[in-house]
Structure 1
Amino acid sequence: MRSAKSVLSLLCFWLAACSSQNTSSIAKFETAIIGGEAALESDLVTRSTVSLIADIGGMPVSVCTGVLISRNLILTAAHCLVDFERMPVTVYFGATLPVTMQDPGFVGVAESTFHNQYHRVKDGWGRYVTSLNDIGLIKLAEEVPAAAEPVAILDQGPELQQGTQFLLAGFGIINELGKAQSATGLNKTRVPFVRREGSVLVADHSAGQGACRGDSGGPAFLETSQGLMLAAVTRGAHAGSPNCRNFGEYTSVSYHKQAILELALQMGAEAPQFKTVPSAD
């Protein structure tokens, strides 16, 4: 059994919040919603957005975000799951984060996996600046709450237009400048899409709104006449930015459609739905 000290050290590594002196790399969990607003229990984003909770000495700590894409399948970022054996997480549904591990809303995890070609990319100075194939899946071991609702995924189609709004949701910090300020529940905001860089969608955070630490794996939705559709999941800051107020990176889900369907099949999970959006949207 790991000591409390070793568990805490691992969590600090995950959140990169225990030291401001680490300039050799970008935080592993480098992305939370800043400049946004609290989501309500009745909001559509709350029905499908979940928190990934680690049990730290009997206390629940939200380390990442995920999104329900079928009745028993959560999509998140691969970097949220690479240390699953050392730091297992459970899934929590609800607009307000739990204060004990006995709070209602927890759903057990059967297994997790991530893209077999996931890897992190360094720049010329050895700093981690992005991740490729940053897609992970969690199969649930129990039924989801009655209010939960899987969201459809945007299928491949016409390229997104610059300025298209992403509706973000996540359980991460709400202020990363100075002493980080943790969220007490789900928050949401909107940011404009800027450009695509391969499988990564870049959004503008310069208005002081966007994803930050703890939002990794959370959804970037499109609001359409067919309801919310998942376009991407939060990856991290763009180009090694030291904060969350420049540009953010979001992993395109449709780009990884085949991998997601194959992994879901391997896990014996219900497959997600991919849908196209009418051009009028």
Structure 2
Amino acid sequence: MRLRTLARATTSVLALASLALAAPLTAAAGTTEPGDDHVQPYIVDGDPASETYSFMTSLQRSNGQHVCGGSLIEPDWVVTAAHCVDGINIAQVRIGTITRDSGGTVARVTAEHTHPQWNPRTLSNDIALLELDRQVSEQPITIADGGDRQGTPTRILGWGSTSGERDSGTRHLQQLDLEVTSGCTNGFDPSNELCLGDDDPDSNACYGDSGGPSIIDVNGQWQLTGATSRAGQGRHPCQDNDAAIYSHVGAHQQWIDDVTGGGTDPGPGPEPCDGADAWSASTHYEPSDQVSHNGHLWEATWYVWHYEPGQSAYWRDLGAC
């Protein structure tokens, strides 16, 4: 998990991406696809996983290519970083294995829900939920109530490079023990983010760890505190950083409950709008297509599927039914 230098970008698109990596620690092991040149695995200086973490999740393309980490929080829900799914097609997840290409359970992603206040420019509210096509048998992880006090021992998990070289992602899960610390800048918001680090500026999360969990031991049970977001001081590409920033999952508990249906039963949903089909995550929509969702009429502003109305700029709210 040492923070290493990424090869210099050769296009203006990548140059812009590098400015944003004040920035995300996303990864894609193996062959990249067009538009994903900034997505590379760089997990170095971690230790091999000491156990099988039932909740640990690999976000993948349809061909099994690893993109990001995530955490199973309900039998059919995974939490990750918003930048892991923004403009990236996550088709499936593999859950509950230390090897990202075998074992565990593979489930299809039916919907992506980014936080409604996610800002891809500032990376604030860098959290998202993935809805699965079925409930899996692996044990979800409980979201911690706290875990944000300075000095709290915290473990991070992820897949990626063990050498810092391009396209050398490891198949085997890595772990690294850190603690809650201070010193994060890079737009750090202590109200809903965590700053994690240790005495070694070369040891922390980097490319390949995005979306993966930070966890704490509570009475012998792992509980989830964070989802990996970005480098703590905004140095690109995350070298010589004393800490890294994680979205504080517990701070977003109400939004998570609202999306997943957790907490208090909200009762029956609103009636659909007359003359408009209900939104479906599996349907491909074209510009100007209209759907009914959560008591509102929505119009597609671009070609879209997976993205839920109210959670994406690809939908325009036309008002209540």
Instruction: Compare 63-72 and 181-190 and name the one that shifted more.
Output: 181-190
Q: Return the alpha-carbon distance in structure 2 between the equivalents of residues 139 and 54 of structure 1.
A: 15
| Superimposed CA distance per residue, residues 12-40 of structure 1 (whole angstroms, 9 cap, x where no aligned partner) | xxxx9674453533176425543111225
| Superimposed CA distance per residue, residues 153-212 of structure 1 (whole angstroms, 9 cap, x where no aligned partner) | 1125xx733222111011233343x54631212111111211373322111255232211
Q: Is 1:221 matched up with 2:215?
A: yes
**Shift in CA distance, 179/138, structure 1 to aligned 2, threshold 3 Å:** closer
Q: Is 1:201 matched up with 2:216?
A: no
Q: CA deviation at 1:90?
A: 0.8
Structure 1 residue corresponding to 2:250, chosen from 249, 254, 262: 254
**Shift in CA distance, 95/271, structure 1 to aligned 2, threshold 3 Å:** farther
Provide the identity percentage.
Answer: 25
Instruction: Mark the runs of 5 or more structure 2 residues left unpaired by the alignment.
Output: 27-41, 183-188, 265-321
Alignment of 1:1-281 (within 5 A): 19-20=8-9, 22=15, 23-26=18-21, 29-31=24-26, 33-39=43-49, 43-44=51-52, 46-55=53-62, 59-84=63-88, 87-93=89-95, 94-98=97-101, 105-121=105-121, 130-144=122-136, 146=137, 148-156=138-146, 160-176=148-164, 179=166, 181-195=168-182, 197-204=190-197, 207=200, 208-242=202-236, 243-246=238-241, 247-265=243-261
Q: CA deviation at 1:238?
A: 1.5
Larger radius of gyration: 2
Q: Return the alpha-carbon distance in structure 2 between the equivalents of residues 25 and 132 of structure 1.
A: 12
| Superimposed CA distance per residue, residues 55-91 of structure 1 (whole angstroms, 9 cap, x where no aligned partner) | 3xxx42211000011111100011111224xx23310
SS in 1 for 2:260: helix
Instruction: Mark the runs of 5 or more structure 1 residues left unpaired by the alignment.
Output: 1-15, 122-129, 273-281
Q: Return the alpha-carbon distance in structure 1 between the equivalents of residues 227 and 77 of structure 2.
A: 15
Q: Indicate the structure whose relative CO is greater, using CA pairs within 8 Å and at least 6 residues apart.
A: 1
Alignment-mate amino acid for residue 163 of structure 1: G
Alignment-mate amino acid for residue 256 of structure 2: I
* Number of aligned residues: 229
Q: Return the alpha-carbon distance in structure 1 between the equivalents of residues 104 and 254 of structure 2.
A: 34
Structure with greater strand share of residues: 1
Contact 1:66 1:74 in 2 (8 A): yes
Cα-Cα RMSD: 2.8
| Superimposed CA distance per residue, residues 248-274 of structure 1 (whole angstroms, 9 cap, x where no aligned partner) | 001111111111111112xxxx669xx
Q: CA deviation at 1:244?
A: 4.8
Alignment-mate amino acid for residue 57 of structure 2: V
Q: Return the alpha-carbon distance in structure 2 between the equivalents of residues 117 and 142 of structure 1.
A: 28
| Superimposed CA distance per residue, residues 129-159 of structure 1 (whole angstroms, 9 cap, x where no aligned partner) | x511111001111232x4x211111125xx7
Q: What is the TM-score when the length of structure 1 is the normalising length? A: 0.72
Q: Return the alpha-carbon distance in structure 2 between the equivalents of residues 149 and 33 of structure 1.
A: 25
Structure with greater helix share of residues: 1
Q: Return the alpha-carbon distance in structure 1 between the equivalents of residues 126 and 19 of structure 2.
A: 21
